Structure 1
């Protein structure tokens, strides 16, 4: 990075490209964001894969994974620190925990990445699986790469922390198949309302207005082409007032037959003060904004281009209970890629996702990244000198 507000990019075609760890200091640290975008043009699981850089942690939930015969899902564990980390991986299917003896005590060496093929962690085949990654010592970055034969591939990022209400933004208007996968990690069952926040209003999908999630069992429902030509976002909320926490993700398919492609949308937090998605192109970027509560106003900044182009700013109003889909204003004179930054200005919380579409071999390959608060803005407590603490 050579200056604030101007992205930097790098490319490689090497098959053994390593995992990446990004660190920012000084004036570059607030709002620091990075993304990896990969085009797999050939093979049974060809597709566009995108994943945003997230902070290392000790606890991750991934509803939407699979150990089925048509899927090749890997959990990638990356240790950014100078000492080894030890992680455990638990798997939960529709009937509860899947038996696994090899998912415990996985050592991730310092500054290294370890991929684990999920189907080798258990002998049980399950179409819908929730993966739980925890660390005994140290911390890791964790993400799931999902490849589905004859459908496509993408990264599955971790769901937002367990909560009684979850928002899953950015379902494309032309989605041909949408599957909701949810999990209740606590001791109590959860009954949730399933609502689609569409272009003009919030409504419950016909026949799927509620979902019962048994404790520590993975539940799923096929919502088919729920958006029916309009962009939408999904809201899960308590149906019975119990406020049992859940995690959730969506498997979304666009296209049909040999032109299918898949992407995943995890539940995500609001953009808060500010959130950024780093990799956008001259064509193919679409931003989805949803306001589950009050009507809200947000500011959207398109950065300078990585190789040239002027930044621009636009303000959007998102009506309560709706999803607004916008095509970002491409920086004038754009060369290279650009970043999108969303900032809350007034009103209620806004949840956001960016869909990137690239046409390859006649297929509209796509990937979706959510935009939770980047944590770059923090409150600094007021302080003053007080010499009385030195009194004897």
Structure 2
């Protein structure tokens, strides 16, 4: 079941709970009165949103900032709240755990939730709220937003690691719980230390299967099956403990048998820094990977075909001037059930760019991600860009500052007109909006607005106004001791509203 389906079910259930008994009749269907038909679906704000943030780092040299933001949404009530709280890490005997890294993820504890002071609690929509933590003992966080704080709620987790494996800037949009995730770009290479973090927000245990696919297909792993994630807890699982062999390019499939979890991969490299690898969008025949930094020195495309058919893809770069075919990498053949990787080098050549993958003939579903490197020699840093869903109605990136933030917008098919709003600052400032036109087949690093009188950090909200589909990504950059630290987050639709059919009260159901 995908995210959209879950949102629709949740929205309909919430509405039914509020309105009481309702009769829904499909258009053209016969009913008891012969005249009842379902009315057009209404777009209503969601009433509850859950987000999960994994433990940010095991390094004592880590400094982490959490930034929460809810855009102002019409149609919400005047009440509500949003909170981020520590997940209850429990040991096997139920006496409480340390929240440290585990090898297999099995044998978690009782899962009883501990009450504690929220890491942050926003005061009102439209203004960011921030919280900080330092060191390697910070736990995973469970977040819930209700009422006016729920529609479009986003939380950015940004960590600076001064030295060691994964040093640099690591960023992640905290994820919504779901039942399936794809991570092309994972690795068990000798230089990499990759953990998949599984976080369970619910009152019952979740059971998860981890499947790894390499260049020759599925890799057998008995310890990756039936992993239990206890209620209100998080399990970091080292991927190299799941298989015996070292493989540079892998696709990880997280399949939840029962319950639901949030999932993200922390990819740490001994020399190339590291970052969070967020889940790619659902398998599809055409994909967009937006927001490659213009100064990228090395770009690697990793793709996987989860179905029974091979995929043949046309590879193009959406540049500021239009769609370009990278020389020597015009097409990509992805065998069914196998992970394929190709190095594209400095494909952007100093300009903003996004990768656009489309079928050369018959379409077959694929998932894909990019590993992007900036810098040279001993001063290199890594980030990941998964294939993204389009912005849709609205999308938001939190934790921006006056410097070091770049917003990339891509219109792969048709010219699009887009409104970008910079929120009020977390410590002061007034929101500002600007409108941009993105020409068909191009990517633009736009001159995004900054709040008037900015103090603190702010959010950027993207809203397409007309034209074709828009894809977006935000890059945060912070150079420390010559190392160009950076992290990229894509901006899919925030699912702040849900389509709910209008319903009429029908008390006759009480008499049936």
- TM bucket normalised to smaller: over 0.9
SS in 2 for 1:22: strand
> Does residue 194 of structure 2 align to residue 73 of structure 1?
yes
Long gaps (5+) in structure 1: none
1:1-392, aligned counterparts within 5 Å?
Answer: 1-240=122-361, 242-386=362-506
Deviation at 1:171, TM superposition (A): 0.4
The structure with more radius of gyration:
2
Deviation at 1:99, TM superposition (A): 2.1
- Structure-2 separation of matches of 1:319 and 1:59: 34
SS in 2 for 1:34: strand
- Structure-1 separation of matches of 2:198 and 2:165: 25
SS in 1 for 2:129: coil
CA distance 1:391–1:89, change in 2 (3 Å): closer
Deviation at 1:389, TM superposition (A): 5.4
Deviation at 1:390, TM superposition (A): 6.4
Residues 99 and 124, structure 1, Cα contact 8 Å, conserved in 2: no
Residues 41 and 361, structure 1, Cα contact 8 Å, conserved in 2: no
Residues 70 and 148, structure 1, Cα contact 8 Å, conserved in 2: yes
Residues 305 and 334, structure 2, Cα contact 8 Å, conserved in 1: yes
Deviation at 1:7, TM superposition (A): 0.6
Residues 249 and 266, structure 1, Cα contact 8 Å, conserved in 2: yes
Give a deviation string over 1:334-386, Cα, whole Å, max 9, x none. Answer: 11111111011101110000000012122220000000001002223223345
Long gaps (5+) in structure 2: 1-121
When the two structures are aligned, how many residues end up with a matched partner? 391
Deviation at 1:77, TM superposition (A): 0.4
Give a deviation string over 1:209-266, Cα, whole Å, max 9, x none. Answer: 11010011000110000000101000111012x1100000000001101211100000
Residues 198 and 233, structure 1, Cα contact 8 Å, conserved in 2: yes
SS in 1 for 2:171: strand
Give a deviation string over 1:3-54, Cα, whole Å, max 9, x none. Answer: 1100100001031101112110001111111110000011143110000022
Residues 379 and 484, structure 2, Cα contact 8 Å, conserved in 1: yes
Residues 165 and 274, structure 2, Cα contact 8 Å, conserved in 1: no
Give a deviation string over 1:85-135, Cα, whole Å, max 9, x none. Answer: 010100010011112111111110101000111111100110100000011
- Structure-1 separation of matches of 2:201 and 2:160: 25
Deviation at 1:388, TM superposition (A): 5.9
- Structure-2 separation of matches of 1:315 and 1:380: 30
Q: TM-score, normalised by structure 1?
A: 0.98
- Structure-2 separation of matches of 1:379 and 1:362: 49
Residues 183 and 246, structure 1, Cα contact 8 Å, conserved in 2: yes
SS in 2 for 1:119: helix
Residues 30 and 376, structure 1, Cα contact 8 Å, conserved in 2: yes
Residues 170 and 276, structure 2, Cα contact 8 Å, conserved in 1: yes
SS in 1 for 2:290: strand
SS in 2 for 1:21: strand
